[in-house]
């Protein structure tokens, strides 16, 4: 494992490689969260400098998935990510989404949605970060999807999703909330937000962009081959998944 870290492999890539390398020996397989936790414990709460240098994200603190979720942001009756069905975790079934806001200048924002199975992206124009604006915009967008693609949405604990019950009623989509300060629990969304900075650099006033322009950028990402999909495009991957589910 240390050798792979030295080659700048991420813990998630190491975990995936182990499954391919030893498909019939579960004793030689390990999850990326276990890798992170082992490093965390070895360093007594701080990753050792030599190990940190090999982690591309350079996070010094790694919080466990089992950390106690403390309610914040005015979110009442939040359902923890730890209560998600197994099908969400293994990405085998389409219709499970991760969501977030990206922030620009002048207190402007865009909502981003990423489908876990296909990495298909939707970008949503929002008038503001308040929960009424965000939930209403997300509801309109998600209701354009077929019912089979509206299974769940995983969000962080930002107050913009305080009205998550209204979203669920409008879309019949269950919302799950990450543990505090745990962005890796929405890994697909975090990765996509990084890709979007190519089009929306820090300091951009995001309010200037129309929904039509956001759709255009999303289409570019969805028609771009992705290594993690075996160089299929997210659009093709999602289309195949929908067709196979009938």
- pLDDT digit string, tens, across residues 93-151: 999 999 999 999 999 999 999 999 999 999 999 999 999 999 999 999 999 999 999 99
Helix axes 187-196, 211-222, angle to 10 degrees: 110
pLDDT at site 177? 94
Please give the CATH number for the structural domain made up of 81-245.
3.30.420.10
Q: How confident is the model at residue 8 (pLDDT cuts 50, 70, 90)?
A: low
- Confidence check: pLDDT of 235 > 60: yes
C-beta of residue 33 within 8 angstroms of C-beta of residue 14: no
Phi, psi of 97 (to 5 degrees): -120, 155
- Confidence check: pLDDT of 1 > 80: no
pLDDT at site 46? 43
C-beta of residue 22 within 8 angstroms of C-beta of residue 70: no
pLDDT at site 101? 95
Q: What is the pLDDT of residues 23-52, one digit of tens each?
A: 777 667 777 666 665 555 444 444 445 555
Average pLDDT value for residue range 8-28: 73
Residues 6 or more apart in contact with residue 80 via CB below 8 angstroms: 69, 176, 177, 179
Q: What is the pLDDT of residues 154-196, one digit of tens each?
A: 999 889 999 999 999 999 999 999 988 887 889 888 888 888 9
Distances (CA, A) of 172 to 145, 203, 239: 11, 35, 21
Start-end ranges of CATH 3.30.420.10 in the chain?
81-245
């Amino acid at each position: 494992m240390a050798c792979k870290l030295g080659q700048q492999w991420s813990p998630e890539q190491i975990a995936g490689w182990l499954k391919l390398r030893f498909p019939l020996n579960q004793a030689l397989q390990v999850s990326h969260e276990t890798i992170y936790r082992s490093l965390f414990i070895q360093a007594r709460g701080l990753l050792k400098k030599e190990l940190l240098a090999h982690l591309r994200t350079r996070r010094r603190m790694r919080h466990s998935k089992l950390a106690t979720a403390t309610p914040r942001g005015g979110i009442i009756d939040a359902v923890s990510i730890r209560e998600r069905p197994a099908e969400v975790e293994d990405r085998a079934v389409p219709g499970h989404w991760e969501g977030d806001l990206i922030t620009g200048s002048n207190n402007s924002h865009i909502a981003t949605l990423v489908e876990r199975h296909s990495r298909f992206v939707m970008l949503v124009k929002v008038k503001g970060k308040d929960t009424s604006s965000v939930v209403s915009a997300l509801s309109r967008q998600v209701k354009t999807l077929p019912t089979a693609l509206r299974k769940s949405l995983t969000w962080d604990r930002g107050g913009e999703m305080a009205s998550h019950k209204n979203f669920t009623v409008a879309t019949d989509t269950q919302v799950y909330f990450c543990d505090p300060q745990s962005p890796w629990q929405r890994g697909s969304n975090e990765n996509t937000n990084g890709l979007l900075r190519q089009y929306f650099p820090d300091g951009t006033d995001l309010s200037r962009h129309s929904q039509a322009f956001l759709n255009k950028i999303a289409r570019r990402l969805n028609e771009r081959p992705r290594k993690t999909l075996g160089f299929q495009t997210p659009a093709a991957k999602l289309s195949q998944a929908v067709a196979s589910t009938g």
